[in-house]
């Protein structure tokens, strides 16, 4: 829709200019002193006509370049949004990867003894230190679970 408006405006402007030049050329002009018209008698008009033609071409190229720049900008916006989303996802992902992952348990020692002890062990398999706060260990039978 935007390009239609641009092209319609350009066509209207150029049509007005060329039409005005055409109407101007139809008007009667005073003949030169030698009784007929030559190319050099209308040098200013020819100059305006040629300049108008060049202006049309250059304007067309300018509009086309502007549209291409606009489209390139739109594509860059899409790429920038994707890069931003990737950066945000990465920033959210890093704490989960780098954090501490604590695990625990332990054996019962000594085996098959009358008085046994559960050795509470803890290990950190994460990439950063863990700040241990507290723990709890309880015993039960399978029926209670």
Single out the residue of 30, 44, 91, 111 in contact with other proteins (rule: CB under 8 A). Answer: 111
Work out whether 105 is an interface residue with other proteins (CB under 8 A).
yes
d(CA 131, CA 122): 12
Which of the residues 70 through 89 are near other proteins (CB under 8 A)? none
Compute φ and ψ for 16, nearest 5 degrees.
-65, -45
Single out the residue of 47, 51, 70, 118 in contact with other proteins (rule: CB under 8 A). Answer: 118
Work out whether 97 is an interface residue with other proteins (CB under 8 A).
no
Contacts of 100 (CB under 8 A, 6+ apart): 124, 126, 127, 128, 129, 130, 131
Coil, strand or helix at 29: coil
Taking CB under 8 A as the binding criterion, the range among 9-17, 32-40, 69-77, 129-137 that sits at the site for other proteins is 129-137
Query: Is the peptide bond preceding residue 50 cis, with omega within 30 degrees of 0?
Result: no
Task: Number of residues interacting with other proteins: please give it, by CB under 8 A.
Answer: 45
Residues that bind other proteins (CB under 8 A): 95, 98-100, 102-112, 115-142, 144-145
């Amino acid at each position: 829709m935007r390009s239609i408006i641009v092209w319609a405006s350009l066509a209207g402007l150029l049509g007005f200019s060329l039409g005005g030049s055409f109407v101007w050329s139809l008007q009667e002009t005073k003949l030169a002193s030698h009784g007929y018209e030559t190319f050099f008698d209308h040098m200013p008009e020819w100059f305006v006509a040629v300049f108008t033609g060049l202006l049309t071409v250059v304007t067309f190229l300018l509009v086309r370049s502007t549209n291409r720049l606009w489209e390139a900008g739109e594509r860059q916006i899409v790429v920038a949004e994707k890069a931003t989303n990737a950066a945000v996802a990465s920033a959210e992902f890093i704490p989960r990867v780098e954090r501490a992952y604590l695990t625990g348990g332990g054996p019962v020692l000594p085996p098959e003894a009358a008085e046994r002890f559960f050795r509470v062990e803890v290990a950190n398999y994460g990439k950063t230190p863990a700040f241990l706060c507290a723990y709890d260990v309880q015993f039960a039978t399978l029926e209670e679970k």
